[in-house]
Structure 1
Amino acid sequence: MTKVIFRQEAINDLTDIWNYTFQEWSEKQADKYYDAIKEACEFIVENPNLGKIYTEISKNLFGFKSGKHIIFFHQISENEIEVIRILHERMDLKTNLIE
């Protein structure tokens, strides 16, 4: 069985992404984008080796692109990942991940 653990910061990011998408486009689009990110997290836990490594930011930090966002995660075990943050590709990644 696979497992995705979300840090509180990642949960907050998902909420912010949903709210922004809802305000700018629609509830339907917000739900669709939210679901796509959650599905990407499930894909990552099955294929963690497809993530890009971000050693310049933190040891053992990986990222996987979903839409315009990058899902940052650590692999905890063979079947488990921890999602650290979900950040827009244009954000200052290093600053937001180190805080």
Structure 2
Amino acid sequence: MKNVKFYLRGQARTDIAKIRQYTIKEWGHNQWDKYRVALFKKLQSLANNPHMGANIEEVSSNAFRFPIKNHVIYYAKREDTVIFVGVISSDMSPQKHMIRVKDITNELGM
């Protein structure tokens, strides 16, 4: 099976940069390398199988979230691609999670 193309948009890049910075500070480069590999494997897996995530029905049938370790990935399924809009800590405030849901809404042009 050919991998589905995916993009990091919205806050996703910033979120991943913050995760990288925190992980390196707390646990070192080796741990970041392990987590980065696991994270990007999961992003590709979700792009290939977007319905693995929980649908955010109040936004769209194409909006999803998926937990990975201590984070939640927010993304939108497009016709031929998947757009990741956020990767935030699962213990962040509900307001932060709602911002990522809004990012999906914006990405889908709703």
> Shorter-chain-normalised TM-score: which range?
0.7 to 0.9
Match status 1:94 vs 2:104: no
Gap regions ≥5 residues in structure 2 = 104-110
| 4+ residue segments displaced more than 6 Å | none
Give, in angstroms, the shift of residue 8 of structure 1: 4.1
Q: Is the 8 A contact 1:69 1:86 kept in 2?
A: yes
Please, what TM-score do these two structures have when normalized by structure 2? Answer: 0.78
Is the partner of 1:86 in helix, strand or coil? strand
Q: What is the aligned partner in structure 2 of residue 74 from structure 1? A: 76
- How many pairs were matched up? 97
Map 1:1-99 onto structure 2 (within 5 A): 1=2, 2-56=4-58, 58-59=59-60, 60-77=62-79, 79-91=80-92, 92=94, 93-98=97-102
Identity score, percent: 25
Q: Alpha carbon RMSD of aligned pairs, Å?
A: 1.7
Matched residue of 1:55: which SS? coil
Cα deviation, residue 76, structure 1:
0.6
Give distance in 1, aligned partners of 2:86 and 2:55.
14
